A and B are shown apart, each in its own frame.
Chain A
Amino acid sequence: MKQRLSTLMVAAVMTASFAAHAQQPAKKAPPPAKAAAPAKKEGITAEFEKFREVLEEDNPAELFEAKGEDIWKNKKGPGGATMAQCDLGLGAGVVKGAYVQMPRWFADVGQVMDAERRIVHCMVKYLGYKEEDIRKQPFSNDQRTPDHVSVITYVAAQSRNLKIAAPQKHAKEIEAYRIGKEIFAYRAGPYDFSCATCHGDDGKRIRTQDLPNLRKPAEAVKAYQGWPGYRMTGGFMLTQQWRMNDCFRQQRFPEPTYLSDSITALLAYMTVTANGQVYKGPGIKR
């Protein structure tokens, strides 16, 4: 062996994606920074942000992207139909950039649909999925990630680094935005909460979680690109519909049925507010 590779392991940093988090404070900032920093982020938030940055480079969402891509490209429904026939608003089979241009009006169904709703619609129509089955478990849990969640992740990833441009041309698209805006501000339930209670001002948070002000484009995009996202707690992919449903639950509202019109309207409001911002999802969340 002439040309011996001096293969030296400098550091076999086995970064177990989150079990390691307890051992991480090794390279902490020097203590004085804590006391100074007038524009300081809350210490714990800053720590979590660092943690998230590290993980963003290797977002396990990619694993679901790959699964979704496989379903989109290879899965055949009854009669050999594929997702290539699915029109996400930019023509049959066009995925690139489609995600950031929904919710939009779809003439074939006479409805405004958000991305998740449209994808489920297509999977039922072309791939032979049963809507009842999807509704039985619409969201991922530790046992199973439903196929449509992977497809959504794939479609979302195909719009990475593109500008959000939800259309507001059709009368129904404008209507959806308006309804969404109204629901956003509608106070109800035992806590007399609205979405705006938490998401209508700057600088709010729940425990250590910063809450974006969804009335501002630069903030709305943060919420928009967080989902679909990989949740490290539990380790599975969750979608925008899940986030919305869970916000309803947190407000002690009755939980909406999966893919309901009201959620599409709220997503229209959030997406249109974020228009012009660059989408950097799929996200990763703790």
Chain B
Amino acid sequence: MADPMKIRAQMKGDTAEIRVLMSHAMETGQRKDNAGATVPAHFIQAITVDVGGKRVIQGQTSTSVSRNPVFGFKVKGAKVGDKVVIHWEDNKGDKRTDEAVIAA
């Protein structure tokens, strides 16, 4: 089971600023370990973000994203108290969903 994400969501004027920190190895599949064996690719490949029950982002990521990545979004039309649900899935089928509420 993957480690939890850290989500920060805050209104700035009429825009909600959402930032999420994910815990993931994000292996590219190009690295070799000390024994010279290739470290298999292991990366987040799908991310979705729902705000207030509405999907605002559906994205695909690949190996160019760093380990423990941070993503930031600005969403117009959201309001304080809206629920933010972020979900990711990696290439090995591991997944994680976390929630936060937009703060004032």
Q: Which residues of A contact B (CB under 8 A)?
A: 5-19, 55, 57-58, 60, 62-63, 66-67, 142-143, 230, 232, 234-236
Contacts of B64 in A (CB 8 A): 16, 19
CB of B6 within 8 A of CB of A63, answer yes
CB of B75 within 8 A of CB of A17, answer no
Fill in one digit per residue for B19-58: 1 if any A CB lies within 8 Å of its CB, else 0. Answer: 1010100100001010000000000000000011010110
By beta carbon, the residue of chain B nearest A66 is B4
Choice from A10, A62, A63 contacting B74 with Cβ under 8 Å: A10
Contact residues, B1-28 vs A (CB, 8 A): 3-4, 6, 8, 15, 19, 21, 23, 26
Contacts of A14 in B (CB 8 A): 59, 61, 65, 71-72
Q: Can you list 7 residue pairs at the A/B interface with Cβ under 8 Å?
A: A7-B56, A7-B78, A14-B61, A16-B61, A16-B64, A63-B6, A143-B33
CB of A17 within 8 A of CB of B76, answer no
By beta carbon, the residue of chain A nearest B52 is A5
Choice from A9, A12, A17 contacting B70 with Cβ under 8 Å: A17
CB of A63 within 8 A of CB of B3, answer yes
How many pairs of A and B residues are in contact by the CB < 8 Å rule? Answer: 92
Q: How far is the CA of A6 from the CA of B23 in the complex (A)?
A: 31
CB of B77 within 8 A of CB of A6, answer yes
Contacts of A18 in B (CB 8 A): 66
Contacts of B6 in A (CB 8 A): 58, 62-63, 66
When A5-B52, A62-B6, A62-B21 are in contact, do A15 and B77 touch as well, CB less than 8 Å?
Answer: no
Q: How far is the CA of A205 from the CA of B75 in the complex (A)?
A: 42
Choice from A58, A142, A232 contacting B21 with Cβ under 8 Å: A58
CB of A10 within 8 A of CB of B3, answer no
CB of B3 within 8 A of CB of A67, answer yes
Fill in one digit per residue for B78-90: 1 if any A CB lies within 8 Å of its CB, else 0. Answer: 1000000000000
CB of A235 within 8 A of CB of B73, answer no
